[in-house]
Amino acid sequence: MASQHKLIFTGLLISISMQWTLSISEEELHASYWNNKARQALHTALNVQPNIHQAKNIILFLGDGMGVTTVTAARILKGQLAGESGEETSLVMDTFPHLALSKTYNVDQQMPDSAGTATAYLCGVKANYGTLGVTAATPRGNCSATYGNEVTSVLNRAKKAGKSVGIVTTTRVQHASPGANYAHSANRSWYCDSDLTPEAIQNGCRDVAYQLVHNIEIDVILGGGRQYMFSNTTQDPEYPTDRGYRNDGQNLVTEWLKNKMNAKYVWNKAEFDAINPANTDFLIGLFEPKDCRYELERDASMDPSLTEMMEKAIKILSKNPKGFYLFVEGGRIDHGHHGGRAKRALYETVEFDRAIGRAAELTSELDTLSVVTADHSHVFAFGGHSARGNSVLGVSRVLAEDKKHYTTALYGNGPGYREGTRPDVNETISSTNDYLQQATVPLDSETHGIEDVAIFAKGPMSHLFHGVQEQNYIAHVIAYAACLEPYENCDLPPPDHAGSIHPSLLLLLMSLLLLSLCSV
């Protein structure tokens, strides 16, 4: 028996040694590598200069539920998907020069939700749990308390200033995060008229879908949420057994299209791909009855990715010489965590970061303020004894006290709790799409976290994101940078129009200039 244990121990050491060798490059073994790397980072930091011009364009990227632990795990996953060990990889958001922390609590709750937080970072005012676009004087579910307590979003202010505006999300477009851009509701769950309570109907409150169409003219709307826009007698075009949810008989898509020139509605990838931004000024695309499918499950022939939706939105909105405001949400990061399935959440985060990277290629940092943040975190933990390059979805190399393996990705609570004896696990099991990470407390849905979340920023006035701030500060920086209400008199220099030149075009012009000089 002792010899058998010795063999197992020796095999384990060999395995760890091989993994260590495969994951660590030769140059990392020498001090010069780390010293040079730090010098380069120091040089970059010393050359960071604040851009004090007015922002022409604003893009707010919202990773719903994207806590710092999720950012770290997604960074490593991104690298591992590219064949690297992962830890040394950078997400696109990691490269943004300015960073702050955001305090996420709601006025009435220590653990926040996506509605109260969205009201904070989009409207500049903290609110109650579950309420959209209203102050904390509105208790959740009290329709009559909405009146007189409405607050105005940055999207609304940007539209008033003459900018084009858009919403892109992987959730339903009536969901809490996108909803705070345009709605005022005492309850985030009033998606359509059939969700309204008798008190809400009696006091004249409108559902979120109705407000999407009637509150403010939004130029581009892309995501899920078809069923809230059509009557309960209308058959869904993709799922014939499904019907709309509306009791009032309205077709809100038709309502939205009214009195608009060059306006289109699409519901599938083929129609989406056929849209030419050059001759489209208004676009609404609703690709699922409720939320869009997870990136791991998305049918690329039927539904566009978050990156594809965002790119189409930018190309349409950027035609406006006064600029644009675009809200881009990786909304199903949150849903993956709630379901206790870390793989879904992390793949959503990688796709979210891909969208951030594509936006950087389509815009200029000189005139576009880009902000990446989260509304809240989750009780998602990532740790344990793991060698360099260990799979994000893998297991610890050291057994637990019960002599069983455990995954390095875990949840503090949620559906992954197991009654009785804890099951053993290996990477073959834990890396499947539907694997439920183990949780310590049994809940049917894993909860949000309470800790601060990160704010990453670049572009005009992005240096104002610093330190630890209340979450509602975000909306105020955005409004100030773009000289929107209440900062119309911000006295900032006009946008740097050099930013209107696409980076690749600028490179071409420089090359032509160099050739002409060489030929003289």
Residues in the chain: 520
Q: Which of 453, 505, 500 is nearest to 114 (CA)?
A: 453
DSSP bridge pairs for 372: 61, 456
Q: Which of 386, 474, 506, 450 is nearest to 68 (CA)?
A: 450
3-state secondary structure of 237: coil
Helix axes 68-81, 342-362, angle to 10 degrees: 80
Q: Which of 283, 285, 303, 284 is nearest to 293 (CA)?
A: 303
Is 138:186 a contact under the CB 8 Å cutoff? Answer: yes
DSSP bridge pairs for 454: 101
- For 232, which DSSP code? T
214/209 Cα distance (integer angstroms): 9
Q: Dihedrals φ, ψ of 321, to 5°? A: -65, -20
H or E segment at 166? strand 164-172
130/429 Cα distance (integer angstroms): 36
> Could you confirm whether 114 is annotated as catalytic?
yes
518/512 Cα distance (integer angstroms): 10
Rg (CA), the chain: 25
Is 323:45 a contact under the CB 8 Å cutoff? Answer: no
Q: Which of 101, 151, 124, 178 is nearest to 474 (CA)?
A: 124
Catalytic residue among 17, 23, 85, 114: 114
Instruction: Sort 149 into a burial class: Cβ within 10 Å, 0-12 / 13-18 / 19+.
Output: middle
- For 462, which DSSP code? G
**How is residue 171 written in tokens?**
């959730």
Q: Which residues carry out catalysis?
A: 114
